[in-house]
Structure 1
């Protein structure tokens, strides 16, 4: 993985973009609390103005935390571990688990992950407890049995379901 350190130029651009995004929110908050129109926000008491900017940053901070949790959950759904999430965030595996408790689901012994009923057939998705990969077994509407085969494990449940669905479509009732 590459470093997440940013350059001075990137930091300057980020600061500018964040301030550009923050100003309308700070103006709206200040306008609501002072009763002044947004274009006169800076004419208010400097303490009140700076507190409205701080209030806007609080809103942004809450939104960043929400979006960060979504990103951690998305990474976890694609197979990232708490160790990997922590490394990216600069915290321990335990810290990542505490910060985003729902981000990573622990695979248990190979168990049914989901069932598919398509084209008159059925398939079962299973997750490997060691790799976390996904596989499938199925029976088509025409009675044919199929599996992902041997040591085939897909990185996501969705990918295994797509392959199982293709098998079920190929062995649909009335297909010749």
Structure 2
């Protein structure tokens, strides 16, 4: 069973990126606790501060599980087996089937890939297969009401690539973007 591992340097970068992403969320959680003005919210009782950080990690954990399930469903839609997904995750085929029930559709072998909806940063985007090219396109509306789409005449090789471009658009048109 091949396990995907990262280097120590990649681990350091991942930790930094996660902490950088967590800080605003932990600050938002902490700012909801009354008693201190926002500019002094980290000066509270250390127990309360660390519980705010723990609460933020719980939000991240829930989101990672949701995104992992989406990735498993996508892998299954491209023909990955539970055995392959389990190998990547470091679990058995049965463990993968239990973790992501329905990710592998045994009945669909030649059906056209289904599109999907991406909801991110308060906006939505529709991902659609492009039968003439065999690729994918996207259209969306950001949280600020801006409409966008893949460039006319262009397409993306995979559903994930289209989703990444749509996600970048939705992030760009999120509310309170600094």
Shorter-normalised TM range: 0.5 to 0.7
**Matched residue of 1:67: which SS?**
helix
SS at match of 1:87: helix
1:157 partnered with 2:112: yes
Give the match for residue 15 of structure 1: 15
Q: How many residues align?
A: 117
Measured in 1, the distance between the counterparts of 2:86 and 2:39 equals 43
Q: TM-score, normalised by structure 1?
A: 0.61
In structure 1, the residue matched to 2:106 is: 106
Q: Secondary structure at the match of 1:34?
A: coil
Q: Residues 47 and 64 of structure 1: is their aligned pair in 2 closer, same or farther, counting only changes over 3 Å?
A: same
5+ residue gaps, structure 1:
108-126, 135-155, 164-176
Instruction: Check whether the contact 1:28–1:38 (CA below 8 A) recurs between aligned residues.
Output: no
Quote how far apart the aligned CAs of 1:2 are: 7.1
CA-based RMSD: 2.3
Deviations 1:32-75 (A, max 9, x none): 02343333221000000000000000000000000000000000
CA-to-aligned-CA distance 1:117-146 (integer Å, 9 cap, x gap): xxxxxxxxxx5xxxx3x2xxxxxxxxxxxx
Q: Distance in 2 between matches of 1:36 and 1:4?
A: 44
Moved over 4 A (4+): none
Q: Structure 1: how far apart are the matches of 2:38 and 2:25?
A: 10
Distance 2:82 2:2 in 1: 18
Aligned to 1:170: none
Larger radius of gyration: 1
Q: How does 1:5-154 map to 2 (within 5 A)?
A: 5-107=5-107, 132=109, 134=110
Tell me the TM-score normalized by structure 2. 0.60
Q: 1:38 to 1:22 in 2, by over 3 A?
A: farther
Q: Which runs of 5+ in 2 are unaligned?
A: 114-129, 133-178
CA contact (8 A) 2:83 2:92 kept: yes
